[in-house]
Amino acid sequence: MRPFDINQAKVAVLMGGMSAEREISLLSGNGVLQALQSKGVNAHTFDPANQPLQNLKTQQYTHVFIALHGRHGEDGTVQGALELLGIPYTGSGVMASAIAMDKTMTKRIWNAQGLQSPAFVHLTPEEQTPHSIQRIPEQLQLPLIVKPPREGSSIGVTKVMTADQMQAAVALATQFDPDLLCEAFIDGDEVTCPVIGEGYLAKALPVVRIAAPQGAYDYQNKYFTDVVKYHCPSGLPPEEEKKIQQITFDAYRALGCRGWGRADLMIRKSDRQAFLLEMNTSPGMTSHSLVPMSAKASGISYEDLCLQLLMSAQLDQHKGGRVS
């Protein structure tokens, strides 16, 4: 596999794409592009919605920084295409990307590994009968969360307070995914923790504690307002912070992630038990994003973070062929 040489590399920053998170991806990608260019990297914009990925080969790109979010960018599909093209890319490989994009599959793996996530009900389209939907508040108790299992950025998510809100919540979620994921609501502190690296050499960065008005950490508040407060240092007791970092590291390893990622968790108010919500394998890199905030708290600038991630770009190692 070709090593990263800043003087020889030609880097495509994949941004935009076709997912519901296109707008955020463009913000992330342009931030990354400027950061890499400031470090002397020959980096260029590449939007898969506007040109075929095959052009990466014909235009002689040597490396790819994936700043795509959501489907066709974070779900293993682009990663698989880059494997076939033989172009090293940032972030997790095909399998880990595909699993992490599916919150239900992620939860099943974490639960099998003894890592705690909220109780859940998953319904395929055939299972979404009125009776099944009516039973969910009894199974999980109210309030509960209804979400599409394969979307990000809180798109299609509803906090259901009363049983008569279920049908509208299901209708919203299934606009974005035919399957349905319902989770028990965890009342407490919302936190997120990034990881950088691979295998046992991976390192969890400082925890970020999120304080949203009335707990409304939704798409609009995540990216387009300043009403959400982010605390890094988190203000958590040191032992609790270490526990969150260890859980995040274990969750990252359980999914086979590499390069970088960010776990979202809830800490239950009643007993300070931590519950894993999801793993983001291509986290946001906007001005509001949390990985750059956490990295800064550990002494890594935004520009250095982008360069470090780029230098970790690789292809899956388990295949029999050799990339020259």
- What pLDDT shows up at residue 214? 62
- What pLDDT shows up at residue 5? 85
Domain 11-91 is in which class? alpha beta
Q: What CATH number does the domain located at 99-116+187-309 have?
A: 3.30.470.20
Active site residue 197: no
Active site residue 21: yes
CATH H-level superfamily of 120-184 = ATP-grasp fold, A domain (3.30.1490.20)
Which residues of the chain fall short of a pLDDT of 50? 217, 221-224, 319-324
Active site residue 200: no
- What pLDDT shows up at residue 191? 97
Domain ranges of the chain: 11-91, 99-116+187-309, 120-184
**Full 3-state SS string of the chain:** CCCCCCCCCCEEEECCCCCCCHHHHHHHHHHHHHHHHHCCCCEEEECCCCCCCHHHHHCCCCEEEECCCCCCCCCCHHHHHHHHHCCCECCCCHHHHHHHHCHHHHHHHHHHCCCCCCCEEEECHHHCCHHHHHHHHHHHCCCEEEECCCCCCCCCCEEECCHHHHHHHHHHHCCCCCCEEEEECCCEEEEEEEEECCHHHCEECCCEEEECHHHCCCHHHHHCCCCCEEECCCCCCHHHHHHHHHHHHHHHHHCCCCCEEEEEEEEECCCCCEEEEEEECCCCCCCCCHHHHHHHHCCCCHHHHHHHHHHCCECCCCCCCCCC
Catalytic residue among 61, 223, 252, 302: 223
- What pLDDT shows up at residue 155? 82
- What pLDDT shows up at residue 227? 75
Active site residue 262: yes
Active site residue 223: yes
